Structure 1
Amino acid sequence: MKSVNGEQIYLYLAWVVSLMATLGSLYFSEIAGFIPCELCWYQRILMYPLVLLLGIATFQNDTAVKKFVLPLAVIGWLISLNHYLVQKVPGFAQVKPCVSGVPCTAQYINWFGFITIPFLAFTAFTLIIIFMALLIKRKNR
Structure 2
Amino acid sequence: MELIRKYHIVIAWMIATSAMLISLFFSEWMKLPPCDLCWYQRMAMYPLVLIMGIGMYRKDPHVSTYAFPFACIGLILSVYQITIQVFPVSEMKICSVGVSCTEDYLNLFGFISIPMLSFVGFLAIIVFLYIKPESK
Give the TM-score of the pair, scaled to structure 1.
0.86
1:112 maps to 2:72:
no
CA RMSD of aligned residues (A): 2.1
Aligned to 1:54: 52
Tell me, in whole angstroms, the C-alpha distance in 1 between the residues paired with 2:102 and 2:4: 40
Aligned mates of 2:93, 2:87 — CA distance in 1: 14
Query: What's the CA shift string for 1:40-80, capped at 9, x where partnerless?
Result: 00000010010011112223322211111001100110000
Count residues in correspondence.
135
Larger CA deviation: 5-14 vs 29-38: 5-14
Instruction: Give the % identical residues.
Output: 40
- Residue segments in structure 2 that go unaligned for 5+ positions in a row: none
The runs of at least 4 aligned residues of structure 1 exceeding 4 Å deviation read: 4-8
Task: State the AA in 2 paired with 1:131.
Answer: F
Distance 1:132 1:62 in 2: 13
Structure 1 pair 86–140 and aligned structure 2 pair: CA distance change class (3 A): farther
**TM-score between both structures, scaled by the size of structure 2:** 0.89
1:92 Cα deviation after fit: 2.7
